[in-house]
Every structure is written in C-alpha cells, then in structure tokens.
C-alpha cells in the first residue's frame, strides 16, 4: 500500500460534513511507551515517524487509522521548548522619579503602552510582548529613535507532542520530509531519531481520550 496516498486519503482528502456528535473512538489506546516496537525490523526495512500530534486524542485517532491500514505504530512523546513571544523592554532607572520621567518620555514619543513591571533588580520598563519577531524589532526601533537602548528577549515555554513510529518495507516509497495539514496541525514524516529504533520510547504515560480506558 502506498503510505503517501494513505496519508492523503486519511488526513488531506475531502471529508464528509461533520456530524453534530462525533462517534466514540474505537482505537488502540496510547499505552505506556515502554512497549517494544511492534513491526519486524528485517534487513532493509526502515523506521519513519509521523507527527507532531499536539493532543493525545489526535494521536489515538491517527494510530487507529494506521492500525486499520496494516501499520502498527508506537507513540513517542517529545518535549521541546518553543518561542512563545518576544518581549521588548528597557532597564528601569534606579529611582522612582527617574522612572516616571522615562515613562513620560516614552509616552510623548508615541509609546503609550509602556509599563513598569517587577521589583528590585528585576525591575523593567515593559514595551510590549509580541508574537511576531518583526513587530518586536519594529517596536525596538521606534524606542531607539528616542535615544534609548531597548532589549528584546525571546520568551519560551515547555511543550510536548506525540509522534508515531512505524516500520516501512525497503521498497516503500520515500515519505521522509513530506508535510501535510491535518485540521489546524501540520504533520510530517521524518526518519526515526538515531538510537530510537528497537528501543523503549521512554517512561511517559499517554492519556487516552475521555471514554477510553487507561491501560493497567
């Protein structure tokens, strides 16, 4: 079976209109990732992984579809730190009077959303948090024209996602690098990380969607 066509048919192809109530997911549970890799790893076979799935429910549904199509898979949780915004700020003056003068100077210069935040050595004049880096630089340049020295700090957050590892036969078409949309998510096929093949996927426990039993 051509897995690329499978991916298109299951996640990209036209869908019927959504029903008011979704049917219960009759799918394999996302169990402890200690389970061994299910497919035979014969000479010439290769491991690919598809993801990232942002929620357990999406991963469960995709895993069920893969299983129904003859592709056993193993879930693997990946922890990452992603940029969650760009903070533009100034170091705060050492006195309350100087801080007030700086805020007045900023507002006269058109930076009306400047705000003093923090205490002690962590005191800063916040000039805004921006989701887009270009907007953060634009704000920085506006403040720099007032003969000030703004700084930009990337704010990060810890996130986790789920990837499904599966084995392909040696004569299967190359899928690595292919990307496709699945709802609001962008999924892609990659080679399995080095050292992952044939090993335990870690100790993380994945929650099954509501209505599914948890593994014992």
Provide the CATH number for the domain around residue 149: 3.30.70.1070
**Domain range spanning residue 122?**
82-157
Whether 96 is in a domain gets the answer yes
Q: What is the pTM of this model?
A: 0.51
Q: How wide is the angle at C-alpha 102 spanned by C-alphas 100 and 105, nearest 5°?
A: 110
For residue 47, is it within any domain? Answer: no
Residue 19 domain flag = no
What's the confidence (pLDDT) of residue 134? 95
Flag whether 41 is in a domain.
no
Q: Residue 122 falls within a domain, yes or no?
A: yes
Contact call for residues 91 and 200 (beta carbons, < 8 A): no
Please give the order of strands across the beta sheet that includes 46-53.
115-117, 124-130, 74-91, 151-168, 46-53, 185-191, 179-182
Instruction: State the Cα–Cα distance between residues 69 and 1, nearest whole angstrom.
Output: 8
| Class of residue 112 by CB neighbours under 10 A (exposed 0-12, middle 13-18, buried 19+) | exposed
Domain count, the chain: 1
Burial of 185 (0-12, 13-18, 19+ CB in 10 A): middle
The Cα 45–Cα 66 span in angstroms is 17
Residue 92 lies in a domain: yes
Domain presence at residue 89: yes
Q: Which residue has the tokens 């357990």?
A: 56
Q: Is residue 203 part of a domain?
A: no
* Closest listed residue to residue 76, CA positions, set 51, 111, 110: 51
Task: State which residues of the chain have pLDDT below 70.
Answer: 1-44, 183, 195-216
Q: Mean of the per-residue pLDDT values for the chain? A: 76
At 158 the pLDDT is 87
pLDDT at residue 35, as a whole number: 42
């Amino acid at each position: 079976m051509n897995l690329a066509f499978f991916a298109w048919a299951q996640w990209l192809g036209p869908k019927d209109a959504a029903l008011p109530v979704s049917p219960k997911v009759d799918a394999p549970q996302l169990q402890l990732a200690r389970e061994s890799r299910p497919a035979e790893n014969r000479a010439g076979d290769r491991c690919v992984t598809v993801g990232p799935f942002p929620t357990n429910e999406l991963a469960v549904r995709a895993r069920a579809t893969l299983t129904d199509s003859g592709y056993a898979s193993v879930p693997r949780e990946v922890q990452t730190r992603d940029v969650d915004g760009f903070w533009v700020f100034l170091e705060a003056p050492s006195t309350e009077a100087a801080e007030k003068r700086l805020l007045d100077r900023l507002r006269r210069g058109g930076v009306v959303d400047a705000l003093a935040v923090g205490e002690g050595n962590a005191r800063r004049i916040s000039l805004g948090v921006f989701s887009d880096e270009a907007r953060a630089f634009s704000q920085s340049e506006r403040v720099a024209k007032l003969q000030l020295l703004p700084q930009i700090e990337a704010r990060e957050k810890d996130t986790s996602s789920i990837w499904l590892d599966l084995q392909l036969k040696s004569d299967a078409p190359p899928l690595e690098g292919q990307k496709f949309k699945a709802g609001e998510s962008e999924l892609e096929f990659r080679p399995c990380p080095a050292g992952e093949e044939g090993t335990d996927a870690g100790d993380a426990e994945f929650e099954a969607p509501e209505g599914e039993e948890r593994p014992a």
